[in-house]
């Protein structure tokens, strides 16, 4: 039964939306790019010729020749003709910031599709009003143009360790035993509910060593699945591209997500409980610009610099770094989050704990999100919910 239920609703939404209806490909450096959502590859230079394939926006094609408004092209092993007006020579740039959000629309309010790390190479499809429409890892979206540069200007010394998304697994049974060792006879530490995302550190026969918020432990590997869309849909009994599965959320998570409203610059009402001092201090810096490495209102904040500074104002000394801060305070379960808790995210623009913010209640948190943005409220959904790692309560 559980395999027909999706315990964490966002997984299927991500999975199904990530399966494109048309071909997608990452182009080579000497190609032309498709500039429309779908373009027909035909056997000859005429709309009456046979359709060989439908190509998606951003697909790279090698141009072999042109004839009366048509371009003869090669795509993989196929050769054919497309309307030349929907092609443009590729322009390649790279991310010149600690990381940069790929968004669905050219707006800081738009949904985050993915995070690209420093040095990530992408193809420019269009530029307008300070934004660039780009192709990055087979996904088309928008990035702030000010933080893109020529690839040759990227410093190899600053390149981060690449994320390893295959290390992130999802629990596919209703409840999974977490044990102290790789054996069914080992002490049971706790239960993980279905849909939980875990980081796998080691494989040993049929067992997997995983990272919990405050310790390492073991689970039976047969009940974990990769978080790529096809694996998730298959494990939950669905068909890629078929009807969405039934969404069922545990009561504690559903309660946190019932207020699913757009932020639209709204400041949520104060929540009862939690550390009012921390939340009040966090709100003081709304609107301060994001600056890579910044740790003060005068110079700007990056995500960990923001948290380090506000706790410093409350008499708590923290290091400058998301992973380092994740070792402070006491662990907090997702269902027990209170305003003022520090929440962490993993495998965003690099592997491991890589982002953090202050829980504000009403399914929202405050953080310094990205270059070109300011300290603001964000809703815990989509990309951020998918990369949620855990929380800590740090008391001033």
Cβ atoms of 336 and 253 closer than 8 Å: no
Q: What residues are annotated to the active site?
A: 303, 355, 367
Burial class (CB in 10 A: 0-12, 13-18, 19+), 126: middle
Look at strands 5-6 and 246-247 and give their pairing.
Answer: parallel
Cβ atoms of 361 and 379 closer than 8 Å: no
HEC states along the chain? CHHHEECCHHHHHHHHHCCCCCECCCCCCCCEEECCCEEEEECCCCCCCCEEEEEECCCEEEEEEEECCEEEEEECCEEEEEEHHHEEECEEEEECCCEEEEECCCCCCCCEEEEEECCCEEEEEEEECCEEEEEECCEEEEEEHHHEECHHHCCHHHCCCCCCHHHEEEECCCEEEEECCCCCCCCEEEEEECCCEEEEEEEECCEEEEECCCCEEEEEHHHEEECCHHHHHHHCCCCCCCCCCEECCCHHHHHHHCCCCCCCCCCCCCCCCCCHHHHHHHHCCCCCEECCCCEECCCEECHHHHHHHHHHHCCCCCCCCHHHHCCCCEEECHHHCCCCCEEEEECCCCCCEEEEEEEEECCEEEECCCCCCECEEEECCHHHHHCEEEEEECCC
- Nearest Cα to Cα of residue 320 among 291, 348, 279: 291
């Amino acid at each position: 039964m559980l395999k027909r239920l999706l315990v964490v609703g966002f997984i299927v939404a991500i999975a199904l939306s990530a399966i494109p209806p048309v071909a997608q490909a990452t182009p080579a450096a000497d190609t032309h790019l498709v500039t429309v959502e779908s373009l027909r590859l035909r056997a000859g230079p005429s709309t009456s010729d046979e359709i060989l394939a439908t190509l998606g926006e951003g697909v790279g094609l090698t141009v072999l020749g042109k004839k009366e408004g048509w371009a003869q092209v090669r795509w993989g092993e196929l050769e054919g003709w497309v309307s030349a007006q929907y092609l443009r020579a590729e322009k390649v740039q790279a991310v010149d910031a600690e990381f940069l959000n790929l968004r669905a629309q050219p707006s800081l309010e738009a949904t985050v599709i993915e995070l690209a790390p420093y040095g990530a190479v992408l193809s420019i499809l269009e530029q307008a009003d300070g934004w660039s429409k780009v192709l990055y890892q087979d996904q088309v979206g928008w990035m702030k143009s000010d933080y893109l540069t020529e690839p040759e200007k990227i410093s190899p010394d600053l390149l981060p360790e690449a994320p390893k998304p295959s290390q992130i697994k999802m629990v596919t049974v209703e409840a999974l035993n977490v044990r102290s060792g790789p054996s069914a006879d080992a002490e049971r530490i706790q239960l993980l509910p279905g849909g939980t995302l875990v980081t796998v550190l080691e494989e040993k026969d049929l067992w997997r060593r995983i990272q919990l918020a405050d310790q390492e432990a073991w689970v039976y590997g047969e009940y974990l699945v990769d978080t790529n869309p096809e694996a998730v849909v298959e494990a939950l009994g669905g068909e890629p591209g078929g009807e969405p599965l039934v969404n069922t959320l545990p009561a504690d998570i559903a309660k946190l997500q019932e207020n699913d409203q757009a932020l639209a610059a709204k400041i949520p009402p104060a929540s009862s409980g939690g550390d009012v001092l921390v939340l009040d201090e966090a709100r003081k810096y709304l609107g301060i610009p994001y600056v890579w490495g910044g740790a003060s209102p005068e110079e700007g904040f990056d995500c960990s610099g923001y948290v380090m500074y506000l706790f410093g104002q409350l008499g708590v000394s923290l290091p400058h770094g998301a992973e380092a801060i994740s070792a402070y305070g006491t662990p907090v379960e997702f269902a027990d989050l209170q305003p003022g808790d520090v929440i962490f995210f993993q495998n965003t623009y690099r592997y491991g704990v890589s982002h953090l913010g202050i829980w504000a209640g009403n399914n929202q948190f405050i953080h310094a999100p990205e270059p070109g943005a300011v300290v603001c409220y964000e809703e815990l959904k989509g990309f951020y919910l998918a990369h949620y790692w855990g929380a800590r309560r740090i008391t001033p």
